[in-house]
A and B are shown apart, each in its own frame.
Chain A
Amino acid sequence: AQKVTQAQTEISVVEKEDVTLDCVYETRDTTYYLFWYKQPPSGELVFLIRRNSFDEQNEISGRYSWNFQKSTSSFNFTITASQVVDSAVYFCALMQDTNAGKSTFGDGTTLTVKP
């Protein structure tokens, strides 16, 4: 069985603050993939990043960075210098290699960035 936990239901920050969204996952597979998606108010999911279980290298893309730690089964997402446009629901998802492409999503974290 696979499970994704996003313990933070809602986060509110003021513009320019840094914010970290937590994601903890459970899986028995040794090969798996982790994703982060952004869902703005319009509803469409936007793919942000994919990380496979063999690559623990952290990644930075502009103001976004991701910290993958297998030891703690976590894949946290940090937004630096947040902006109002970052306001959205963010989902962490897990896909096991043995599960035919099916993804399990966390419950999502609603981020509100206030001006």
Chain B
Amino acid sequence: GAVVSQHPSWVICKSGTSVKIECRSLDFQATTMFWYRQFPKQSLMLMATSNEGSKATYEQGVEKDKFLINHASLTLSTLTVTSAHPEDSSFYICSAPSSGMFHYGYTFGSGTRLTVV
């Protein structure tokens, strides 16, 4: 089945540094990737939608300059948290339509737990 590989699984970084999270679709082409953030014991909140070869679309309230998203190829989308601060500590998850069609379901990455100290 469709697999999205997300790395790293967890990362601890110092305040002010940047962190890059990668999501790769291993056996299918992901023209679209959704990026979510999940705080402890809360639901998934969509941050942005990335499309291969074009600029990402950010949800209201999400800082574009802070959360840089790049979707350079059909199999790779990256999220860079720039100048991270403790309030950015969260669980970040990527997701792509499993078969290229949104309504058939989604495959999620395993998530990245970011802790900013």
Contacts and interface: CB of A to CB of B under 8 A. Distances in A.
Nearest to A92: B43
A46 to B, nearest CB: 8
B35 to A, nearest CB: 11
Contacts of B44: 45, 91, 105
Given A43-B113, A45-B108, A107-B43, 9 more contacts: A37-B108, A44-B109, A45-B44, A101-B32, A101-B102, A103-B106, A105-B43, A105-B44, A106-B43
Contact of A43 (B45, B49, B103, B110): B110
A37 B105 CA distance: 10
A52 B107 CA distance: 18
Contacts of B91: 43
Contacts of A47: 98, 105-108
Contact of A35 (B49, B105, B109, B113): B105
Given A101-B49, A101-B97, A107-B42, A50 B113 contact: no
Interface residues of A, number: 24
B111 A43 contact: yes
B46 A91 contact: no
What does DSSP make chain A's interface, helix, strand, loop or mixed?
A: strand
Given A43-B91, A45-B108, A50 B42 contact: no
Most buried by A among B104, B107, B108: B108
A23 interface: no
A104 B36 CA distance: 11
Interface of A: 33, 35, 37, 42-47, 50, 52, 91, 95, 97, 100-108, 110
B16 to A, nearest CB: 26
B100 to A, nearest CB: 10
A68 B104 CA distance: 17
B93 interface: yes
Contacts of A91: 43-44
A50 B43 contact: no
Interface in B77-115: 91, 93, 95, 97-98, 102-111, 113
